[in-house]
Amino acid sequence: MNFSQQLSLIKTLVPSGEVDTRMDCPFCNGTNTLTIKRENADLLWYCFHASCTAKGNHEGEMTMEQVYETVVTKEKEKEKDFVMPKSFVSIFSTDKCTDYLKKNHCMESYIKGKAEIKYDVKQHRAVFIIKEKEKVKGAIGRGLNSEVYPKWFMYGSKSYPFICGNSDIAVLVEDCASACAVSEVYTGVALMGTSLPDSYIPVLKKKFKKVIVALDRDATTKAFDISNQLRYYMNTEVKILQDDLKYFDKPQIERLFQ
């Protein structure tokens, strides 16, 4: 029998999923001479009988989960450490920066040490530092006047979200300022848009027991899409907002989520 004939026969002998078994060989009728193993997507078989040629290694199609794991692992390996530019200085270097942070309810989280925020002299931005535990992964900067384009700028890798807060309930919001504002009540996670990057899913899965997707009214459909993506892994809820959370203080946010 040629390879593909063997393969189709082998497939009928074992169930799907992980397999590691030994059985009578249908090719040579040897007793308990055939081993079949399925690892990840690979199907391997081999007969120990001296005169039997049954042997093969079939690389099957990977499941979505396997594809995802492979891609994410490779991405992670590619990622270099983020080096904070010299142009990142204290937020107190300019009133423009502190004014923005106060107005958008970020100052509390900065003072309490929940968020690391800098001022980028070169780009004239308030910069939110993305950290995984203590490791700096990148940064996201908000232009401090209308001439700074784009309004939001991503420094370094985009694969890890800006997270602010210590609650095991996450609120997914559109930007870093809203993530800081909501951190007074829950943990804020900034999407930097209205869709959920795939690389954020394992992070959310690991850190939170519940996720509330809190987006603007015009992003209602997107909010439900995100919630559908996450519901396989954790409790999810959608909260449609009339306005960005960054415009609210702690009591207002508490009321909103009651």
Question: Which residues contact Zn ion by CB under 5 A?
Answer: 25, 27-28, 30, 47, 49, 52, 54
Least distance to Zn ion, CB of residue 41, Å = 24
Among residues 27 and 160, whose Cβ is nearest to Zn ion?
A: 27
Least distance to Zn ion, CB of residue 15, Å = 21
Among residues 13 and 192, whose Cβ is nearest to Zn ion?
A: 13
* Long-range contacts, stretch 189-195, CB < 8 angstroms, 24+ apart: 189/161, 189/162, 189/163, 190/128, 190/140, 190/161, 190/162, 190/163, 191/161, 191/226, 192/140, 192/152, 192/154, 192/158, 192/161, 192/162, 194/219, 194/222, 194/223, 195/222, 195/225, 195/226
Separation of alpha carbons 165 and 179, rounded Å: 8
Among residues 25 and 230, whose Cβ is nearest to Zn ion?
A: 25
Least distance to Zn ion, CB of residue 26, Å = 8
Separation of alpha carbons 109 and 184, rounded Å: 7
**Residue 77, token pair as written in the block:** 């390996």
Bridge partner residues of 257 (DSSP): none
Hey, CA dihedral for 74, 128, 136, 205, is it positive or negative? negative
Among residues 21 and 166, whose Cβ is nearest to Zn ion?
A: 21
Least distance to Zn ion, CB of residue 29, Å = 7
Among residues 33 and 236, whose Cβ is nearest to Zn ion?
A: 33
Among residues 28 and 154, whose Cβ is nearest to Zn ion?
A: 28
How many CA atoms, within 13 angstroms, populate the side-chain half-sphere of residue 4? 0
Ordered strands of the 135-143 beta sheet = 88-89, 117-120, 125-132, 135-143, 152-156
Least distance to Zn ion, CB of residue 14, Å = 15
Least distance to Zn ion, CB of residue 28, Å = 3
